[in-house]
Structure 1
Amino acid sequence: MLLVILPVRRILTHFAKQLPELSHPLIPSNWIGEETMFKSRGSCVAQFFWLTLALAIAFDSTLAFAEAIVRVNLADSVPRDSNTDRYTTLRNDTRPVMRDSSRFIFHSKGKPTKPRKTKAKTNPYTRLAFERQLPPELSASDEILIVPRARWVDEWKVFKPFVRRAPQDQEAPARFAVSFPFPLTQKAWLTLYPLPRDSLRAAVEVDVPRNATLDFAIGVLEAWQQLGSVRFELQACLGGDCESLFREVIKIREAGQPALGWLDRSVDLTQYAGKEVELRFRADAADESNRLPVAFFADPVLRQVSAPKPTGPNLLLISIDTLRADHLGSYGHVRDTTPYLDNYFETNGTIFDECVAASSSTLPSHMTMMTSLNPAVHGARNTQPYQLPKRAVLLAEWLRDRGFATGAVTENGAIARARGFGRGFATYREFRDSESATNRRTVESTFREGLRVIRSMQDDRFFVFLHTYKPHNPYVPPEGYEELFGKSKPFDKTTPFYDWTPTQYDREIRYVDDLLRNLLDTLAREGLLDNTIVAFTSDHGEAFLEHGYRAHGALVYEEVLQVPLMLSGPGVPKGHRVSAPVALLDLMPSMLGLLGEEVPVGLMGKSFRDLLVDATSKTNAQDKADATRAWRTRPIFSEAFIERAVHRTGVTKLLQPTYAVRQGDYKLIRLRTRSGHRYELFNLALDPGEKKNIFAATKPLSQRMKKLIEDYEDSAAILRTNLHESVSKSSDSLSPEETEMLRSLGYVE
């Protein structure tokens, strides 16, 4: 069935008043046709880029920005405090909600006390003190829900929550003391929620079409499920008359029962067809408690059911974090790390010999993958708070607005819904494990949940995105893989991270290959790959001291930029290899082309469909040769932003950003120094390991490549400014939870 998501009239009216006569996510409308467009420092390549964008926008009467706004979730129409979260997570499932969801995470102050024994001869316990100035959202509330969490052995344990009155003196720091029923070896966390002063009340006016259905979910904060029962109700009101469409009570959770996640519900609105109705959402306590529950209505979507089911292929995009290309068998690795993937794509699809990452860290590279905007334009950084501009068009948004069912399963960290990745996804599961890179259960849960999501969408045309942090450092191969590929040869044990070895890394890759075997074989047996494009890639690679550094994020050498790209499915030649270099920047327009969908105006990448030519005839061979030649002359840019760099003997800080441009066989790297910049130029055809810097010996070539980076930096700054004009100021710092996740992945200390 085709799900046509209907607009909310009030929101569209507000949008129409703000829409300029001619707009585009990147180009200011007053630039079109003006001489000032070409006054920035620009080579012929740069001027051609500007002119192409301007002409494309001027002659395209169907604007990407205007089309992408058609679908509006009803949760977005409820007024809210801009300083609070728009999403709530229950059992790793993050969804937009109709009530603000503030939460604050406190670390314990000082070191844990020594274990004590009580007079009742109970188990040893640890008492921790927490002290901090409360933010306004907490100090203004009457009561605070407190959820203790602490590390025990190799996992985090969450303890029974409790409620405390907010301190009356809002100027003084709040102090809490919590006892844990076992000795602690490190700090613990408290998560604090301001309890609502009023019951959940939200109202939205909608124009109801024929055959309309309202889909939504109800949920109670996991910590609150142990404290009280909650009654949910949905009413439809015409004039002063209201009718109850839905009622349900979620009872208090007894000890030992698992926590509830979101409960999906649906109501039929057929009787209100052609009328403007006010939908009222309510949640109240359903027991004797005087406390108001922390409860939510989530992701309410008004839809109309029509037929037939849309035709065309589906898309499954799989991103394996930190997977460098040359550690796969199909890219020449001597170890049998990926026997399944090698055979699957060599037999059923196309392998790209060279795919260049946009960045050597997770967030900016994935954002480029999903928006086809370079990192210098979209501005995403791993270690900084980030809010994706509304003017950017994401792949999931574009496809959902064209009738696709959309779902994503990620492992949080940098790929979080709150950072903008959730836009356009109807389902967005986040496994919020601060140690997902080392926890075997996390990656297994990711693929298991991905299979469930795909099965749930098999009656629709779908786009599903799967992301796992395996084999991101630190490398911890699970049981059964510890001795694979012989004995590991660690680096000098006197240095930090000595066990971050290629052998440990390869063991984890083989583990992921085995998991993907189970996933893809299951989908194939169930017929879910018959009409599905499978795109397999990574965000960046990993360094093992090739240039004196380990890990990734700080530099832009080939070991951290070359990633695998393999495709299979409708429109993809089988047993085919592409030698021309492509980039993750090209993924979005290329996937849209293979899906038969139009491409938004303003994407910075290029569709590589012209490279997917099976050169069995003389004509096809010539076409492929021409396409390959054109792709080799295109400049490809990459960036690094992480200051923390792991070298041979420890950790240092580098000045950032670092830029790289590749054109043909040549690659130039610009590193920032205290006195300016330092340059390294390599001929990758003769020096693939980037060992011989020829910058000083080839001045005409060096200056031309240097100019490419300067033009790129200048034009990107202008595009970034315009793209971010509508972005409200985000938080000045990362939350402790985000920091903990990034620390476990090695991005911060």
Structure 2
Amino acid sequence: PAQGRFRVGIAVQDVFLGQDMVAGAAPVGFAASLRFADGRTERLFARTLDIRQRVSDRRWIDLAIDVSRLAGREATLRLENEAAGPGETSGLFALWSRPLLYDVGETHARPNLLLVTVDALRADHLGAYGYARPTTPRLDQLAAEGVRFAAAFTSGPMTLPSMGQVFTASPFPTPMRPTLVSSLFAGGVLRTKAIVNNLYLFHWLALETRDPFDSITAAWSWRADRMTRNALQWVDQRPGVPFALYLHYIDTHTPYRPPPPFATRFTDAAYAGPVGLRFDDVSGARAGHYAPADRARIVALYDAELSFVDAEIGRLLDGLAARGLLDHTLIIVTADHGEEQWDHGSFFHGQSLYDELLHVPLVMRFPDLAYAGRVVTQPVRSIDIVPTICDVLGLPAFPEFEGVSLLPLIAHDTSPPGELFARAANLEFPYRFALRTPRYKLIRTIETGREELYDLASDPGETRDLAAEAALAEVTRPLRDAMDAHRQPLRETGVQVRAVARDGRAHEIDLAVTASNTGTLADPDRVDLEDGDRLVLAPDGRTLRWTGQVGAHPVGIRFDRGPARPLGPLPAFEVRARVDGRDLPPPAIYLADGASHPASSPFVYRRVRASLFGGEREESPLLAGATPSFGAHGSEPVSIFLWRFPDERTGAVAPALDEAARRRLRALGYVE
């Protein structure tokens, strides 16, 4: 770039897993250079850090180098490290931050970004979306000053995978997919920050993404007021430097404990039931323990929490205005998912794919009040948010992004993006997929294959299931085809299992996959199974069981291994396949490309690390580059094929957690 700057951070690890690394550390040299096509090189910097001798070296050191003299030239960046001498490198960890090349002029001209998500926020509880109570005067004002999307839908009814889908602009947020943060880095945004009060989301942003924020704060016990205060303090740390700031407020999530004066703002003074000014009995609410008056009280507390969050978002916006930043910032407010309040007989979230869990608010305030007051009525998707940010801010949009920019829809009223594909992946409930168009919604339950069909025009509350209506078969077929097209990545990733009968007869199959106690299984799906077959993932995520019939046509399942605990052992799993009541012998089980068999049946698959940072090896290897051939094999009447693709996971799922983390989740209302 014409005003190019090269920026990078360097450090030597001084503490690792609680162990002091200083006493045995040798000096470490850092160097960066550029190699041009003609073979010449140019050194950008060279520096030695000695954390044993210099206290000042026990920190991150940020370097910024003027490279404007090299504008327009292509080169390869080379980063090098060198320890003091042979035999002195044991226990040394040389650290680099992500290198950043940016144009000073473009970077400072680009607007800032403020992205806010509110946990478990239904769209229909905001005044701007028609709610009768005055819950959100500041968000209503924001909508009037910006663009309100009347029909915005998230792709999941729970924080994960929903927020992973938002950040990757994809229904299946695999760990190595580029994210919003990838675009921020590639576009030269100098400061990025996330403040997150959600355990699942923090884990995903910090450990499961290709590109983490520069700084992420785990705000476990923070209320909305402290979130706002911390955000403004961070903005003030480097005034004048462009930024991207992400906040996730959780106050609208159970337990409800709105502070005064919000707590009594919407309660009925005549109420004398069992619910006070705090509520955390999610199990009881799901089980139908509360009378209509009690439910109204619970909803009033939810609205009070929303009013509190609304006030704090307003204070955040006022803070930006006082600093002269409001009109130079793209501001987006939305939610990870909605919240069921007995719309379909239950409470909380994660359990279904009905609109009370998928319909979320989406408001965008553009710099200098562009498009102020506009309302977009066409359906849009949460996976379209990041491509829109890239379009507005002039950031690179990666080809892996499956969402599209909404800017043409806002500016020119063009055709809306494609249909909504959503998936429910909460271990407490059956996995489900949904395909939503402006007129119809098709829902499929993975456990049984059962389908539901709703006409959203005549039945917006989704109370009349039309799946059995023969007259609507021509409606269901293209919806099913579109859903299957969205599910195609599931057949190209993860662990795959297929079974086929050689003798042309139907055989009973009972296949169980059981994860070790260090991990879970995730994202199961049916592959051409009959509707009577069952695929059940246990509530603890450790056992997946397929029961049904196998014939001459290959049928099967797929699944992912859930993420391991950081630095913990890689999860293993056992496979037991029974056909017609007996264990299938090893010669009838084909692994990887179909050329090998397990040593025993049942058998255990595991991946073993050679060292903490070394490579891996497989026991009972499954890795294959392509789907194996299901041609004639062996003498057994049924053969089973198991393999895994290199891209083994399809997206953000809940991690394996320790007991302290489980206690925090139970306090939020999650039931194990």
Q: Provide Cα deviations, 1:568-591, integer angstroms capped at 9, x if missing partner.
A: 123840011000100111111111
Q: Which residue of 2 aligns with 1:578?
A: 376
Q: 1:592 aligns with which of 390, 414, 418?
A: 390
Q: For 2:149 and 2:236, how far apart are their aligned partners in 1?
A: 29
Q: 1:742 aligns with which of 659, 665, 670?
A: 665
Matched, 1:678 2:450: yes
What residue is the counterpart of 2:32 in the other structure?
207
Q: What does 1:130-529 align with in structure 2 at a 5 Å threshold?
A: 193=18, 199-200=24-25, 203=28, 205-207=30-32, 236=48, 247-248=55-56, 307-308=104-105, 310=107, 311-346=109-144, 348-374=145-171, 377-378=172-173, 388=175, 390=176, 392-405=177-190, 406-416=192-202, 417-420=205-208, 423-431=211-219, 433=220, 436=221, 441-487=222-268, 496-497=284-285, 501-529=298-326
Q: Which residue of 1 aligns with 2:426?
A: 642
Q: Which amino acid aligns with 1:429?
A: T
* 8 Å Cα contact 1:322-1:471 kept in structure 2: yes
Q: 1:100 to 1:604 in 2, by over 3 A?
A: farther
Residue equivalent to 1:661: 435
Q: Cα–Cα, structure 1 residues 302 and 511, in superposed 2: closer, same or farther, change >3 Å?
A: same
In the TM superposition, residue 742 of structure 1 has moved relative to its aligned partner by 2.5
Rate the CA distance shift 1:732–1:474 in 2: closer, same or farther, 3 A.
closer
Specify the code of the residue in structure 1 equivalent to 2:379: P
Secondary structure, in 3 states, of the residue corresponding to 2:434?
strand
In the TM superposition, what is the alpha-carbon distance from 1:536 to its structure 2 partner? 0.6
Name the CA shift for 1:535/1:457 in 2 (closer, same or farther; >3 Å): farther
Distance in 2 (CA, whole Å) between partners of 1:538 and 1:343 is: 17
CA separation of 1:303 and 1:642: change in aligned 2, threshold 3 A: closer
Contact kept, 8 Å, 1:236 with 1:278, in 2: the verdict is no
Aligned to 1:82: none
Shift of 1:480: 1.7
1:252-292 deviations in Å (ceiling 9; x for gaps): xxxxxxxxxxx76657999xx999975779xxxxxxxxxxx
* Greater relative CO (CA pairs within 8 A, separation 6+): 1
CA deviations on 1:543-590 (whole Å, 9 max, x unpaired) are: 011111100012111101000000012384001100010011111111
Name stretches of at least 5 consecutive residues in structure 1 with no aligned partner.
7-71, 76-96, 103-192, 215-234, 251-262, 282-293, 380-387, 614-622, 645-653
Deviation per residue, 1:10-53 (Å, 9 max, x gap): xxxxxxxxxxxxxxxxxxxxxxxxxxxxxxxxxxxxxxxxxxxx
Letter in 2 for 1:407: K
Question: Is the contact made by 2:101 and 2:188 (CA closer than 8 Å) also made in structure 1?
Answer: no
Give the whole-Å Cα distance in 2 for the aligned partners of 1:641 and 1:728: 14
Q: 1:244 to 1:207 in 2, by over 3 A?
A: farther
Contact kept, 8 Å, 2:252 with 2:306, in 1: the verdict is: yes
Partner of 2:466: 694
1:443–1:468 Cα contact (<8 Å) kept: yes
Secondary structure, aligned partner of 2:656: coil
Structure 2 distance, partners of 1:490, 1:422, is: 52
- Aligned equivalents of 1:378 and 1:360: distance in 2? 15
Q: SS of the residue aligned with 1:515?
A: helix
Structure 1 counterpart SS, 2:201: coil
| Matched-pair contact (CA < 8 Å) for 1:318–1:467 | yes
Looking at structure 1, the residues matched to 391 and 645 of structure 2 have their Cα atoms a distance apart, in angstroms, of 27
Pairwise CA distance, 1:684: 1.3
Q: Confirm or deny: 8 A CA contact 1:394 1:423 kept in the other structure.
A: yes
SS of 1:709's equivalent in the other structure is helix
Post-superposition CA distance 1:138-179 (Å, at most 9, x none):
xxxxxxxxxxxxxxxxxxxxxxxxxxxxxxxxxxxxxxxxxx
Alignment correspondent of 2:403: 605
Offset of residue 678 of structure 1: 1.9
Q: Distance in 2 between matches of 1:536 and 1:731?
A: 24
User: In structure 2, do the counterparts of structure 1 residues 604 and 720 end up closer, same or farther at CA, with 3 Å as the change threshold?
Assistant: farther
Asked if 1:725 is matched to 2:649, the reply is no
Q: Find the aligned partners of 1:407 and 1:522 in 2 and give their Cα distance.
A: 17
SS in 1 for 2:105: coil
Q: Does 1:710 align with 2:484?
A: yes
Conserved 8 A contact 1:400-1:425: no
Task: Judge conservation of contact 1:642–1:747 (CA < 8 Å) in 2.
Answer: no
Structure 1 pair 716/305, CA: closer, same or farther in 2 (3 Å)?
closer
Contact 1:670-1:677 at 8 Å conserved across structures? yes
Which amino acid counterpart does residue 475 of structure 2 have in structure 1? L
Alpha-carbon deviation of 1:196? 6.2
The percentage of aligned residue pairs carrying the same residue is: 26
Distance 2:155 2:654 in 1: 25
Offset, 1:360: 0.5
Q: Whole-Å Cα distance in 1 between the matches of residues 321 and 105 of structure 2?
A: 24
| CA pair 638-302 structure 1, distance change in 2 beyond 3 A | closer
Measured after TM superposition, the shift of residue 197 of structure 1 is: 10
- Tell me the equivalent position of 2:13: 98
**CA distance 1:677–1:744, shift in 2 (3 Å):** same
Look up the match of 2:534: none
Normalised by the length of structure 1, the TM-score is 0.57
Q: Deviations over 1:695-724 (max 9, x none)?
A: 222121122222222232234432678998
- Kindly indicate whether the alpha-carbon contact (under 8 Å) linking 2:9 and 2:62 is maintained by their aligned counterparts in 1: no
Distance (whole Å) between structure 2 residues aligned to residue 642 and residue 98 of structure 1: 38
1:739·1:748 contact (CA, 8 Å) conserved in 2?
A: no
One-letter code aligned to 2:225: E
SS of residue in 2 equivalent to 1:378: coil
Cα 1:747/1:581, change in 2 over 3 Å: same
> CA deviation digits over 1:297-317, x for unaligned, max 9?
987577789743522222111
Amino acid across the alignment from 2:344: H
Q: Contact 2:493–2:648 (CA<8 Å) still a contact in 1?
A: no
Alpha-carbon distance in 1 for matches of 2:494, 2:241 = 36
Shift of 1:529: 1.6
